[in-house]
Amino acid sequence: MTPLTDHPQRYALVNELHARPFPALTCPCTAVFVAIKEPVEAAARDRGLDRAHLLALLDRNGSAHPQPEATHFSGAIGRSDLKWESHTEFVTYSAFTPGLSDRAFDPSEAGVFPEDWLAAAPGKLLTSVLIRVEFMPEDEAQVLDKLDDWFVPESLAVARVVDGAAIVAGDFRIDPAGHMRFVVFVRQGTGARRIGRIVQRLCEIETYRAMSMLGLMRARDLGSKLNALDPRLSALVSGLDRTNRPAEAALHELLNISAELESLAVRVSFRFGATGAYEAIVNQRIEALREVRLQGRQTFGEFMMRRYDPAMRTVKSAETRLRNLAERATRAAELLRTRVDVERSAQNQQLLESMDRRADLALRLQHTVEGLSVVAISYYAVSLASYAAYPVISALHLSKGMAMAALTPVVVALVWYAVRRIRKAMH
């Protein structure tokens, strides 16, 4: 029996499931995470620049290079373990360093990514995160004391996660050094891969939150444009039943409004679609933490519900408003086209009636001209006939007047008959 041939992408599809494994982290340690995004849409992004930037960092530390077409890489840079991932719109760098600094969230911890190297990045810094991983104190009061010292209480989110394996906390604020802070208190005996999954999910929550908030900026800009188009469209629709304005002029203005709405839809469709996808990832990552409230403090899910969800609803509202305006413009265009068609039909009917009247007048004129032509032709024909019959007239001793009087009825009858025959043959 001949064996089946593998699909050309069989192994690539399976390997994609294992392309981005979670890091294995030992406690205590520090994680530094940065996400860089080019200020362009995904289609215009140059991935070659991202790879060159990664190689520049690896060459500084004498580290091995990834495969030419790789979209992820893990390797050592000095004392730290580097994890690099290339996504559709952005790239991320994660550095995991064993041990903790004496000062919590010391800005020097971010020195694993040199400032001049970051300044040369092919894009803009989207997010920068410092994550401190240490063992959980036996007394929860010590945990809360540390959190009050490190974070802003008003926006602090804290919860037990992953069946009590750790306590995670953060206030989603950027500190004076430009970093966002999170802390992970790990219970004794927690596995390295479980710690890595928790840290990775915190990084993903912050990254995809930041990416989805780009849609909010686009929604606000869109809102100002829709505020200008909505009254124009409403005034145009409310004036459809007026007869003092030509329908074709209204249709031309409506086409301009529809073109502007379509242009706006093209410009925001990708960002709004990406925002919806990123929002789903944020909610899924928070759900995967399996949060349990810690002494009445707000959880990550509650923080997002109060601060993040309204922004996402704003984006969805702007998207819905744009779609509704486009649908209203389409319906108005159909009504205007119907009105234009009716008016053109009436104009065509009037034109046909005018053509009928003109045809009737032309027929009458034709009959008139026909009678005149018979008279004119007969006049000349009688003169010619009298000249032709002159010998006969002289022989019969008739006067020229009598001869022409006798010839006139005959010539007129013959001319009339000839004209009738010619008209009949033409029709």
Nearest to 155 by CA among 139, 169, 171, 176: 171
Query: For residue 398, what pLDDT is reported?
Result: 65
Residue 164, phi-psi category: left (phi > 0), alpha (psi -120 to 50), beta (remainder): left
Give the helix, strand, coil percentages of the chain, each rounded to 5.
60, 15, 25
pLDDT tens-place string over residues 196-248 = 999 999 999 999 999 999 999 999 999 999 999 888 888 887 776 666 667 77
Residue 82 contacts residue 76 (beta carbons within 8 Å)? yes
Q: CA nearest 212: which of 311, 298, 119?
A: 311
pLDDT in tens, 298-314: 999 999 999 999 999 99
Dist. CA 289–CA 168, nearest whole Å: 9
pLDDT at 329: 87
Strands 180-186 vs 124-135: parallel, antiparallel or unpaired: parallel
**SS3 category, 104:** coil
Residues 17-52 have pLDDT tens digits of 766 678 999 999 999 999 999 877 655 678 889 999
- 188-197 pLDDT, tens digit per residue, is 999 999 999 9
Contact 81, 23 (CB under 8 A): yes
Q: Is the peptide bond before 21 cis (omega within 30 degrees of 0)?
A: no
In 16-57, beta strands by DSSP E: 29-37
Reading the block at residue 23, the tokens are 């890091």
Q: Are 294 and 158 in contact (CB under 8 A)?
A: yes
Q: Using a cut of 0.85, tell me whether the model's pTM lies above it.
A: no
Share of the chain above pLDDT 70, in %: 87
Distance CA 371, CA 364 (A): 11
Which of 140-149, 228-237, 373-382, 387-396 has the largest mean confidence? 140-149
CA distance 112 to 32: 8
Average pLDDT, the chain: 86
Q: What residues contact residue 339 under an 8 Å CB cut-off, 6+ apart?
A: 240, 247
pLDDT tier at 174, thresholds 50, 70, 90: very high
Amino acid at 292: V
Q: How many CB atoms lie within 10 A of CB 358?
A: 10
What is the pLDDT confidence band of residue 318, given thresholds at 50, 70 and 90? very high
Written in H, E and C, the secondary structure of 301-341 is HHHHHHHHHHHHHHHHHHHHHHHHHHHHHHHHHHHHHHHHH
Distance, C-alpha 303 to centroid of its chain: 30
Query: How sure is the predictor about 71, in pLDDT bands with cuts at 50, 70 and 90?
Result: confident
| 185 CB-side CA count, 13 A | 20
Q: What gap in Å lies between CA 117 and CA 84, rounded to an integer?
A: 15
